[in-house]
């Protein structure tokens, strides 16, 4: 899919695209400066400094897989930590979820897990939603015969729903 110059200009001026590109270059410059200062710099003479080029020129997929693995490990450790706290409270007959700290911990772990599930399944949900919308639009577009029961026919709306729609929400 080729973008026209106007579409490309619109896409490049989008604040989220600009923030993404800016964060990429900032991260890249940070990696270069850390490799230069902490790892001794770069070289191409067969010394150990030649290996410092590796993270700078490395493919993105291994980093993404490493990130996913670390996030999964963090989720597992937080769940194990919560189980340890509940077990400790139950053995000492201390009430569970008594403080704001405990509720924030539960909420953070739940939101972290929810983000992982929805973030990794959002593409599937978007495709499923698109297929449902396409099916609905196709059903309304073609004129159905009396014998065709595949598409739902819209029901007539009573006059009270047209004149007082907000009353029916209450």
pLDDT in tens, 12-54: 667 777 787 888 888 888 888 888 888 788 888 888 888 888 8
Is 22 inside a domain boundary?
Answer: yes
pLDDT at 144: 52
pLDDT at 170: 44
* Domain encompassing residue 47: 1-58
Look at residue 4 and give its three-state secondary structure: coil
Structure tokens at 147: 């014998």
117 versus 109: the higher-pLDDT residue is 109
pLDDT at 1: 57
Is 95 inside a domain boundary?
Answer: no
Is 157 inside a domain boundary?
Answer: no
DSSP annotation of 81 reads: H
pLDDT at 146: 53
Of residues 55, 75, 58, the one with CA closest to residue 120: 75
153, pLDDT greater than 80: no
Is 50 inside a domain boundary?
Answer: yes
pLDDT at 80: 96
Distance in angstroms (rounded) separating the CA atoms of residues 25 and 19: 10
Distance in angstroms (rounded) separating the CA atoms of residues 14 and 18: 6
**Model's pTM, two decimal places?**
0.45
pLDDT at 166: 47
Look at residue 2 and give its three-state secondary structure: coil
Is 17 inside a domain boundary?
Answer: yes
167, pLDDT greater than 90: no
Look at the chain and report how many structural domains it folds into: 1
pLDDT at 149: 53
pLDDT at 48: 82
Is 53 inside a domain boundary?
Answer: yes
CA distances for 12 relative to 1, 20, 25, 85, 170, angstroms: 16, 11, 15, 48, 45
Q: pLDDT band for position 59 (50/70/90)?
A: confident
Of residues 53, 23, 47, 59, the one with CA closest to residue 35: 53
Is 23 inside a domain boundary?
Answer: yes
pLDDT at 92: 95
Is 78 inside a domain boundary?
Answer: no
* For range 95-122, the mean pLDDT: 90
């Amino acid at each position: 899919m080729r973008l026209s110059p106007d579409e490309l200009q619109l896409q490049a001026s989008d604040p989220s695209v600009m923030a993404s590109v800016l964060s990429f270059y900032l991260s890249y410059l940070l990696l270069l400066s850390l490799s230069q200062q902490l790892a001794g710099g770069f070289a191409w003479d067969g010394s150990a400094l030649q290996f410092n080029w590796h993270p700078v020129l490395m493919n993105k997929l291994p980093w993404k897989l490493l990130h996913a693995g670390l996030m999964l490990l963090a989720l597992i450790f937080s769940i194990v930590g919560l189980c340890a706290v509940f077990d400790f409270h139950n053995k000492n007959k201390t009430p569970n979820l008594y403080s704001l700290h405990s509720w924030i911990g539960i909420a953070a772990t739940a939101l972290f897990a929810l983000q992982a599930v929805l973030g990794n399944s959002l593409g599937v949900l978007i495709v499923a939603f698109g297929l449902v919308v396409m099916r609905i639009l196709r059903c309304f577009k073609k004129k159905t015969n009396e014998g065709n029961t595949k598409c739902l026919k819209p029901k007539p709306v009573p006059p009270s729903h047209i004149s007082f729609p907000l009353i029916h929400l209450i």
